């Protein structure tokens, strides 16, 4: 009886453990797939990279702060205004209308970038 219960516990632990591995792997690949579809602008060393981004209308762009200090994304026409982004925070905006969108960091105005939507 003791051996049977022991085998049941081992089987249960293996099943639960494998379930967590499958869920974790699925979440990781979902994150990778969603990030590879959308352009990313990295914020690092007080710069936006790429500085100029050309995209088709309807594209969602994500900015990721990889600096040790907060930054913002604010378009010169104020259509885009992000909250302050701490390290590893991100902000996304979908560009639906063609045009040129100049933006800057309101905390560090010398940091500038541009999105050109065609």
Domain that holds residue 86: 39-117
pTM score: 0.69
Distance set, CA 73 to CA 6, 56, 57 (Å):
57, 20, 19
Let me know whether 98 and 68 are in one domain. Answer: yes
Burial class (CB in 10 A: 0-12, 13-18, 19+), 61: buried
* Token output for 29: 């690949």
Q: Do residues 23 and 66 both lie within one domain?
A: no
Please tell me whether residues 53 and 88 are part of one structural domain: yes
- Residue 45 sits in the same domain as residue 32: no
Looking at the fold, whether 55 and 32 belong to one and the same domain comes out as: no
Residues above pLDDT 70, as percent of the chain: 69
74 and 113 belong to one structural domain: yes
How does pLDDT run across 3-60, given as a tens digit for each residue? 544 455 444 444 444 333 333 332 322 233 344 578 999 999 999 999 999 999 999 9
67 shares its domain with 97: yes
Shared-domain flag, residues 2 and 48: no
């Amino acid at each position: 009886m003791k051996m049977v219960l022991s085998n049941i516990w081992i089987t249960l632990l293996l099943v639960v453990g494998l379930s967590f591995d499958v869920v974790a792997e699925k979440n990781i690949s979902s994150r990778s797939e969603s990030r590879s579809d959308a352009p990313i602008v990295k914020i690092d060393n007080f710069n936006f990279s790429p500085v100029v981004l050309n995209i088709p209308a309807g594209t969602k762009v994500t900015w990721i702060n990889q600096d040790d200090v907060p930054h913002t994304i604010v378009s010169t026409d104020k259509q885009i205004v992000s909250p302050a982004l701490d390290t590893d925070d991100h902000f996304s905006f979908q560009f639906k209308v063609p045009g040129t969108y100049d933006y800057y960091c309101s905390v560090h105005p010398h940091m500038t970038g541009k999105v050109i939507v065609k």
